[in-house]
């Protein structure tokens, strides 16, 4: 995966759950119409669509978009080559991700805290 150290010119990804297409555009340095096109070309990229067909991207989508951007713009891959490269990368991730990473653990902790806050609020 593309880490922040490989993409110094891009801003850090905030700790939000969902991002609009405009926010993702700024975070990834890619125009919104390009993001919509990449959704058609890369099956892994599936933002949540809510009322009015508005797209909401999650953190993993933003990381994936940055990886696609790196493959296309910095490493010079074609769309097909980038798609193939991502297919290889996702296969590798599946075989090595038996143990949760620190990011995954932090995300689970955040989710648990949000759920506890909601429960407290409802009681």
Give Cα 34 to chain centroid, integer Å.
15
pTM above 0.85? Answer: no
Rounded CA separation 14/27 (Å): 9
pLDDT for position 3: 42
- The confidence band for 4, taking pLDDT boundaries of 50, 70 and 90, is very low
Rg, C-alpha atoms of the chain: 16
**Through-space distance between the first and last CA atoms of the chain, rounded to whole angstroms:** 41
Q: Is the pLDDT of residue 2 over 80?
A: no
Give Cα 115 to chain centroid, integer Å.
22
Q: Higher pLDDT residue, 5 or 112?
A: 112
pLDDT for position 100: 61
Q: pLDDT (tens digit, 9 = 90+) per residue, 69-102?
A: 999 999 999 999 999 988 876 555 454 555 566 6
Domain 4-98 CATH (choose: 1.10.1660.10, 3.40.640.10, 1.20.120.140, 3.60.21.10): 1.10.1660.10
Q: Is the pLDDT of residue 38 over 90?
A: yes
- The confidence band for 28, taking pLDDT boundaries of 50, 70 and 90, is very high
Q: How many CB atoms lie within 10 A of CB 90?
A: 13
Q: Supply φ then ψ for residue 96, to 5 degrees.
A: -110, 0
Q: How many CB atoms lie within 10 A of CB 19?
A: 23
Quickly list H helices, 29-101.
32-41, 59-69, 79-96
């Amino acid at each position: 995966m593309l880490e922040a150290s490989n993409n110094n010119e891009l801003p850090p990804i905030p700790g939000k759950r969902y991002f609009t297409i405009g926010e993702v555009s700024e975070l990834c340095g890619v125009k919104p119409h390009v993001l919509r096109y990449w959704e058609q070309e890369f099956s892994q990229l599936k933002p949540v669509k809510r009322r009015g067909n508005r797209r909401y991207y999650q953190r993993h989508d933003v990381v994936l978009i940055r990886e696609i951007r790196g493959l296309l713009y910095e490493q010079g891959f074609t769309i097909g080559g980038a798609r193939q490269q991502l297919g290889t990368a996702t296969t590798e991730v599946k075989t090595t991700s038996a143990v949760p990473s620190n990011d995954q653990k932090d995300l689970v902790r955040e989710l648990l805290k949000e759920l506890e806050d909601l429960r407290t609020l409802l009681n």
